[in-house]
Amino acid sequence: MSALFIADLHLSENCPDNTRAFLELVDGKARELDALYILGDLFEYWAGDDDRDAPLNREVAGALASLAAGGTRVGFVAGNRDFLVGADFARAAGLTILPDPTEIDLDGRRVLITHGDSLCTDDHAYQAFRRQVRDPQWQQAFIARPLAERRMIIEGLRKHSETAKQEKAEEIMDVNTAAVDALLRAHDYPILIHGHTHRPAHHLHHVDGRQCERWVLSDWRGTASWLSWEGKAFHPGP
Protein backbone atom coordinates (compact mmCIF):
# COMPACT_ATOMS: atom_id res chain seq x y z
CA MET A 1 0.00 0.00 0.00
CA SER A 2 1.29 3.46 -0.87
CA ALA A 3 -0.37 6.76 -0.10
CA LEU A 4 0.19 10.50 -0.20
CA PHE A 5 -1.32 12.95 2.31
CA ILE A 6 -1.69 16.68 1.61
CA ALA A 7 -3.59 19.56 3.21
CA ASP A 8 -3.95 23.34 3.25
CA LEU A 9 -3.13 24.06 -0.37
CA HIS A 10 -5.53 27.04 -0.38
CA LEU A 11 -5.71 27.01 -4.16
CA SER A 12 -6.88 30.29 -5.66
CA GLU A 13 -6.32 32.42 -8.72
CA ASN A 14 -4.19 34.71 -6.53
CA CYS A 15 -1.60 31.99 -5.88
CA PRO A 16 -0.65 30.41 -9.21
CA ASP A 17 2.49 28.81 -7.76
CA ASN A 18 0.41 26.58 -5.49
CA THR A 19 -1.81 25.59 -8.42
CA ARG A 20 1.22 24.80 -10.56
CA ALA A 21 2.75 22.71 -7.77
CA PHE A 22 -0.53 20.84 -7.29
CA LEU A 23 -0.91 20.03 -10.99
CA GLU A 24 2.68 18.81 -11.14
CA LEU A 25 2.14 16.60 -8.09
CA VAL A 26 -1.08 15.10 -9.45
CA ASP A 27 0.50 14.46 -12.84
CA GLY A 28 3.71 13.10 -11.32
CA LYS A 29 4.35 11.55 -7.93
CA ALA A 30 0.68 10.93 -7.08
CA ARG A 31 0.33 8.65 -10.11
CA GLU A 32 2.98 6.34 -8.68
CA LEU A 33 0.95 5.66 -5.53
CA ASP A 34 -2.23 3.80 -4.64
CA ALA A 35 -4.05 6.65 -2.92
CA LEU A 36 -4.07 10.42 -2.47
CA TYR A 37 -5.73 11.82 0.64
CA ILE A 38 -6.57 15.53 0.71
CA LEU A 39 -7.15 16.57 4.33
CA GLY A 40 -9.01 19.81 3.79
CA ASP A 41 -8.52 23.34 2.51
CA LEU A 42 -7.75 22.22 -1.01
CA PHE A 43 -9.26 25.56 -2.01
CA GLU A 44 -8.92 28.98 -0.42
CA TYR A 45 -12.70 28.86 -0.28
CA TRP A 46 -15.55 26.92 -1.85
CA ALA A 47 -18.84 28.74 -2.30
CA GLY A 48 -20.79 25.72 -3.55
CA ASP A 49 -20.72 23.12 -6.29
CA ASP A 50 -22.41 25.51 -8.70
CA ASP A 51 -19.05 27.33 -8.73
CA ARG A 52 -17.25 24.25 -10.09
CA ASP A 53 -17.16 25.64 -13.63
CA ALA A 54 -14.89 28.55 -12.66
CA PRO A 55 -11.62 28.05 -14.62
CA LEU A 56 -9.46 27.10 -11.63
CA ASN A 57 -12.07 24.81 -10.11
CA ARG A 58 -12.63 23.07 -13.44
CA GLU A 59 -8.88 22.60 -13.92
CA VAL A 60 -8.45 21.10 -10.45
CA ALA A 61 -11.40 18.75 -10.93
CA GLY A 62 -10.07 17.63 -14.30
CA ALA A 63 -6.62 16.91 -12.91
CA LEU A 64 -8.03 14.84 -10.03
CA ALA A 65 -10.40 12.98 -12.35
CA SER A 66 -7.47 12.06 -14.60
CA LEU A 67 -5.53 10.83 -11.57
CA ALA A 68 -8.47 8.71 -10.40
CA ALA A 69 -8.99 7.31 -13.90
CA GLY A 70 -5.35 6.18 -13.83
CA GLY A 71 -6.03 4.02 -10.78
CA THR A 72 -5.09 6.25 -7.84
CA ARG A 73 -7.85 6.48 -5.26
CA VAL A 74 -8.60 10.04 -4.17
CA GLY A 75 -10.09 10.70 -0.74
CA PHE A 76 -11.16 14.11 0.53
CA VAL A 77 -11.80 15.29 4.10
CA ALA A 78 -13.37 18.76 4.18
CA GLY A 79 -11.51 21.64 5.78
CA ASN A 80 -12.69 24.89 7.27
CA ARG A 81 -12.38 26.61 3.88
CA ASP A 82 -14.04 24.02 1.64
CA PHE A 83 -16.66 22.26 3.78
CA LEU A 84 -19.27 23.03 1.12
CA VAL A 85 -17.64 20.69 -1.41
CA GLY A 86 -20.44 18.34 -2.39
CA ALA A 87 -21.48 15.41 -4.52
CA ASP A 88 -21.38 17.27 -7.86
CA PHE A 89 -17.75 18.30 -7.46
CA ALA A 90 -16.87 14.85 -6.10
CA ARG A 91 -18.27 13.21 -9.24
CA ALA A 92 -16.47 15.68 -11.52
CA ALA A 93 -13.17 15.15 -9.70
CA GLY A 94 -13.46 11.39 -9.25
CA LEU A 95 -12.94 11.67 -5.51
CA THR A 96 -14.66 10.24 -2.45
CA ILE A 97 -15.77 12.62 0.31
CA LEU A 98 -14.79 11.05 3.63
CA PRO A 99 -16.19 11.71 7.11
CA ASP A 100 -14.04 13.71 9.51
CA PRO A 101 -12.36 11.78 11.04
CA THR A 102 -11.85 8.64 8.94
CA GLU A 103 -9.79 5.59 9.79
CA ILE A 104 -7.77 3.88 7.04
CA ASP A 105 -5.47 0.88 6.97
CA LEU A 106 -1.88 1.18 5.77
CA ASP A 107 -0.29 -2.26 5.63
CA GLY A 108 -1.84 -3.26 8.93
CA ARG A 109 -1.34 0.09 10.61
CA ARG A 110 -4.48 1.94 11.66
CA VAL A 111 -4.32 5.58 10.65
CA LEU A 112 -6.85 8.25 11.57
CA ILE A 113 -7.11 11.24 9.23
CA THR A 114 -8.82 14.54 10.00
CA HIS A 115 -8.55 18.15 8.92
CA GLY A 116 -7.65 19.14 12.47
CA ASP A 117 -9.77 22.19 13.17
CA SER A 118 -12.05 20.24 15.51
CA LEU A 119 -9.03 19.72 17.80
CA CYS A 120 -8.46 23.45 18.34
CA THR A 121 -10.87 23.48 21.25
CA ASP A 122 -9.27 26.42 23.07
CA ASP A 123 -10.54 28.71 20.32
CA HIS A 124 -14.11 28.89 21.60
CA ALA A 125 -15.26 31.51 19.09
CA TYR A 126 -14.06 29.41 16.17
CA GLN A 127 -15.66 26.24 17.52
CA ALA A 128 -19.01 28.04 17.82
CA PHE A 129 -18.66 29.22 14.22
CA ARG A 130 -17.68 25.70 13.11
CA ARG A 131 -20.78 24.20 14.70
CA GLN A 132 -22.94 26.78 12.93
CA VAL A 133 -21.55 26.34 9.42
CA ARG A 134 -21.39 22.54 9.64
CA ASP A 135 -25.10 22.38 10.46
CA PRO A 136 -26.98 20.92 7.43
CA GLN A 137 -29.84 23.39 7.76
CA TRP A 138 -27.45 26.35 7.79
CA GLN A 139 -25.67 24.98 4.73
CA GLN A 140 -28.93 24.42 2.87
CA ALA A 141 -30.02 28.00 3.54
CA PHE A 142 -26.62 29.37 2.55
CA ILE A 143 -26.48 27.41 -0.72
CA ALA A 144 -29.94 28.76 -1.59
CA ARG A 145 -28.46 32.26 -1.84
CA PRO A 146 -27.18 33.49 -5.23
CA LEU A 147 -23.58 32.49 -5.97
CA ALA A 148 -22.36 36.09 -6.18
CA GLU A 149 -23.86 36.84 -2.77
CA ARG A 150 -22.23 33.74 -1.27
CA ARG A 151 -18.85 34.81 -2.59
CA MET A 152 -19.25 38.25 -1.02
CA ILE A 153 -20.23 36.76 2.33
CA ILE A 154 -17.26 34.38 2.28
CA GLU A 155 -14.85 37.18 1.43
CA GLY A 156 -16.18 39.17 4.36
CA LEU A 157 -15.82 36.19 6.69
CA ARG A 158 -12.24 35.64 5.52
CA LYS A 159 -11.29 39.24 6.25
CA HIS A 160 -12.92 39.04 9.67
CA SER A 161 -11.07 35.79 10.38
CA GLU A 162 -7.70 37.28 9.46
CA THR A 163 -8.34 40.25 11.75
CA ALA A 164 -9.43 37.98 14.58
CA LYS A 165 -6.26 35.89 14.25
CA GLN A 166 -4.14 38.94 14.98
CA GLU A 167 -5.87 39.26 18.34
CA LYS A 168 -5.52 35.62 19.40
CA ALA A 169 -2.62 34.00 21.21
CA GLU A 170 -0.73 31.49 19.10
CA GLU A 171 -1.45 28.60 21.46
CA ILE A 172 -5.20 29.17 21.18
CA MET A 173 -5.06 28.44 17.45
CA ASP A 174 -3.12 25.20 17.93
CA VAL A 175 -4.64 21.83 18.81
CA ASN A 176 -5.54 21.12 22.42
CA THR A 177 -3.50 18.20 23.78
CA ALA A 178 -6.41 16.84 25.80
CA ALA A 179 -8.61 16.90 22.68
CA VAL A 180 -5.95 15.01 20.74
CA ASP A 181 -5.60 12.43 23.51
CA ALA A 182 -9.37 11.99 23.69
CA LEU A 183 -9.57 11.40 19.93
CA LEU A 184 -6.73 8.86 20.04
CA ARG A 185 -8.39 7.10 22.97
CA ALA A 186 -11.80 7.02 21.26
CA HIS A 187 -10.28 5.34 18.19
CA ASP A 188 -8.15 2.84 20.11
CA TYR A 189 -4.80 4.63 19.79
CA PRO A 190 -4.15 4.93 16.03
CA ILE A 191 -1.59 7.01 14.16
CA LEU A 192 -3.10 10.48 13.65
CA ILE A 193 -2.55 12.69 10.59
CA HIS A 194 -4.02 16.18 10.28
CA GLY A 195 -3.45 19.64 8.86
CA HIS A 196 -5.10 23.01 9.59
CA THR A 197 -2.58 24.47 12.04
CA HIS A 198 0.16 25.11 9.46
CA ARG A 199 2.68 23.78 11.99
CA PRO A 200 4.25 20.72 10.35
CA ALA A 201 5.75 18.33 12.89
CA HIS A 202 5.96 14.77 14.14
CA HIS A 203 4.67 14.35 17.71
CA LEU A 204 4.60 11.44 20.11
CA HIS A 205 1.65 11.22 22.52
CA HIS A 206 1.59 8.96 25.55
CA VAL A 207 -2.05 8.08 26.19
CA ASP A 208 -3.12 5.52 28.78
CA GLY A 209 0.29 3.88 28.63
CA ARG A 210 0.24 3.75 24.80
CA GLN A 211 2.58 5.69 22.54
CA CYS A 212 0.83 7.26 19.54
CA GLU A 213 2.26 9.16 16.61
CA ARG A 214 0.76 12.42 15.34
CA TRP A 215 1.85 13.87 12.04
CA VAL A 216 0.92 17.49 11.23
CA LEU A 217 0.93 18.38 7.53
CA SER A 218 2.37 21.60 6.20
CA ASP A 219 0.46 24.26 4.37
CA TRP A 220 1.64 25.08 0.82
CA ARG A 221 3.62 28.25 0.21
CA GLY A 222 4.38 28.19 -3.49
CA THR A 223 5.74 24.64 -3.47
CA ALA A 224 4.23 21.23 -2.81
CA SER A 225 4.42 19.60 0.61
CA TRP A 226 3.24 16.13 1.56
CA LEU A 227 3.55 13.10 3.81
CA SER A 228 4.03 9.79 2.02
CA TRP A 229 3.68 6.16 3.02
CA GLU A 230 5.25 3.62 0.71
CA GLY A 231 5.01 0.40 2.69
CA LYS A 232 7.43 0.82 5.57
CA ALA A 233 7.46 4.31 7.04
CA PHE A 234 6.14 7.85 6.73
CA HIS A 235 8.30 10.37 4.90
CA PRO A 236 7.69 14.13 4.77
CA GLY A 237 8.33 15.54 1.34
CA PRO A 238 9.73 16.69 -0.80
Q: Which residues are annotated as a binding site for Mn(2+)?
A: 8, 10, 41, 80, 115, 196, 198
- CA 34 – CA 151 distance, rounded (Å): 35
CB–CB of 40/84 below 8 Å?
no
Binding site members for substrate = 80-81, 123, 161, 165, 168, 196
Transcribe 56-112 into DSSP letters: HHHHHHHHHHHHHHTT-EEEEE--SS-TT--HHHHHHHT-EEE-SSEEEEETTEEEE
Angle at 41 between CA 39 and CA 46, to 5 degrees: 130
**Cross-sheet strand order for the sheet of 191-194:** 102-106, 109-114, 191-194, 210-216, 201-207
Binding site members = 8, 10, 41, 80-81, 115, 123, 161, 165, 168, 196, 198
